[in-house]
A and B are shown apart, each in its own frame.
Chain A
Amino acid sequence: MVLADLGRKINSAFTELTKAPVIDEKVLDSLVREICAALLASDVNVMLVQKLRANIKKNVNLEELANGANKKRMIEKAVMDELYNLVDPQVEPYKPVKRRANIFMMVGLQGAGKTTTCTKIASFYQRKGWKVALVCADTFRAGAFDQLKQNATKAKIPYYGSYSETDPVAIALEGVEKFKADKFEIIIVDTSGRHKQEVELFEEMKQISAAVKPDTTIFVMDGTIGQAAESQAMAFKEAADFGSIIMTKMDGHAKGGGAISAVAATHSPIIFIGTGEHLQDMERFEPRSFIRKVLGMHDMRDMIEQ
Chain B
Amino acid sequence: LFSYFKSFTGQREMTAETLDPVMMTIKEHLITQNVATDIAEHLCQSVRTSLMGKKLGSFERISTAVRNSMETALKRILTPKTSLDILRDIEQAKSEKRPYTMCFIGVNGVGKSTNLSKVCFWLLQNNYKILIAACDTFRSGAVEQLRVHARNLRALQTSGSGIVELFERGYGKDSAGIAKDAINYAAVNQFDVVLVDTAGRMQDNEPLMRALSKLVSVNQPDKIIFVGEALVGNEAVDQLTKFNQALKDFSGLQNPRHIDGMILTKFDTIDDKVGAALSMTYITGQPIYFVGTGQTYTDLKNLKVSHVVHSLLKK
Residues on A facing B (Cβ under 8 Å)? 37, 40-43, 46, 109-113, 140-151, 154, 195-198, 222, 224-229, 231-232, 249, 251-255, 257-258, 277
Contacts of A226 in B (CB 8 A): 34, 231-236, 273, 275-276
C-alpha gap A49/B113 in the complex (Å): 36
Residue of B nearest to A258 (CB): B233
Counting CB contacts under 8 A, is B15 at the interface?
A: no
CB pair A111–B273 under 8 Å, yes or no, is no
B32 touches A110 (CB 8 A): no
* CB interface residues, B 235-281, toward A, < 8 Å: 235-236, 238-239, 242, 266, 268-271, 273, 275-276
Would you list 9 pairs from A and B whose C-beta atoms are within 8 A, ordered by A residue? A110-B266, A113-B108, A140-B295, A224-B233, A226-B231, A226-B233, A227-B33, A227-B273, A228-B230
Asked whether, in the complex, the Cβ of A195 is within 8 Å of the Cβ of B269, the reply is yes
Contacts of A258 in B (CB 8 A): 233
A228: chain B residues at CB < 8 Å are 34, 230-231, 269-271, 273
A195-B268, A222-B231, A277-B108 in contact; A41/B37 too (CB < 8 A)? yes
Measured between beta carbons, the chain B residues less than 8 angstroms from A253 are 202-204, 235, 238, 242
Query: Which A residue's beta carbon lies closest to that of B276?
Result: A226
Judge if B31 is at the interface, Cβ distance under 8 Å: yes
A46 touches B233 (CB 8 A): no
Docked CA distance A35–B83 (Å): 42
**A-B complex: 4 closest residue pairs judged by Cβ atoms:** A226-B233, A147-B141, A143-B145, A111-B109
Segment at the interface with A among B52-60, B147-155, B182-190, B217-225: B147-155
A-B contact sample (14 more), CB < 8 A, given A41-B36, A110-B111, A150-B141: A41-B38, A142-B144, A142-B148, A143-B147, A198-B268, A222-B231, A226-B34, A227-B32, A228-B34, A228-B269, A228-B273, A251-B202, A253-B202, A257-B233
Choose from A46, A112, A151, A222 the contact partner of B140 (Cβ within 8 Å).
A151
Task: State the CA gap A196–B270 with chains docked (Å).
Answer: 9
Partner of A197, one of B148, B242, B271: B271
Number of residues on chain B facing chain A (CB within 8 A): 53
Q: In the complex, A24 Cα to B231 Cα: how many Å?
A: 40
Min Cβ gap B210→A in Å is 15
Instruction: Give chain A residues whose Cβ lies under 8 Å from the Cβ of B149.
Output: 142
**In the complex, chain B residues 286-301 whose Cβ is within 8 Å of any chain A Cβ:** 295
Residue of A nearest to B113 (CB): A142
**Given A43-B234, A46-B28, A146-B144; A277-B273 close (CB under 8 Å):** no
Task: For residue A146, give the distance in angstroms from its CB to the closest CB of chain B.
Answer: 4
State the CA gap A154–B273 with chains docked (Å).
39
Q: Is the CB of B233 within 8 A of A225?
A: yes
Bound complex: CA A253 to CA B202 (Å): 8
Could you tell me which B residues sit within 8 Å of A by CB distance?
Answer: 28, 31-34, 36-38, 107-111, 113-114, 117, 138-149, 152, 202-205, 229-236, 238-239, 242, 266, 268-271, 273, 275-276, 295
Chain B: minimal CB distance from A263 (Å): 16
- Identity of the chain B residue whose Cβ is nearest the Cβ of A197 in the assembled complex: B268
- Whether A251 contacts B138 in the complex (CB less than 8 A), given A109-B269, A232-B269, comes out as no
Residues in A neighbouring B232, C-beta threshold 8 A: 224-226
B109 pairs with A255, CB closer than 8 A = no
From known contacts A110-B266, A228-B231, A251-B204, infer whether A143 and B238 are also in contact, taking CB-CB under 8 Å: no
Interface centre among A141, A148, A253, A255, by most chain B C-beta atoms within 10 angstroms, is A253
Q: Which residues of B contact A197 (CB under 8 A)?
A: 268-269, 271
CB distance from A42 to the nearest CB of B (A): 7
Contact present for B269 and A277 (CB under 8 Å): no
The verdict on A142 contacting B269 (CB below 8 Å), with A147-B139, A249-B107, A253-B235 known, is no
> Whole-angstrom distance between the alpha carbons of A258 and B111 in the complex?
20
State whether A255 touches B140 (Cβ < 8 A): no
- Across the two chains, which residue of chain A brings its CB closest to B147? A143
Name the residue on A nearest B148 (C-beta): A142
Per the bound structure, the CA–CA distance linking A198 and B266 in Å amounts to 12
Please indicate the chain B residues that have their CB under 8 angstroms from the CB of A149 in the complex.
Answer: 140-141
Name the residue on A nearest B114 (C-beta).
A142
Task: Across the interface, name the chain B residue whose C-beta is closest to A37.
Answer: B37
* Chain A residues, Cβ within 8 Å of B36: 41
Contact A109 to B231, CB < 8 A, known contacts A41-B38, A46-B28, A151-B140: yes
> Distance (Å) between the CB of A86 and the closest chain B CB?
16
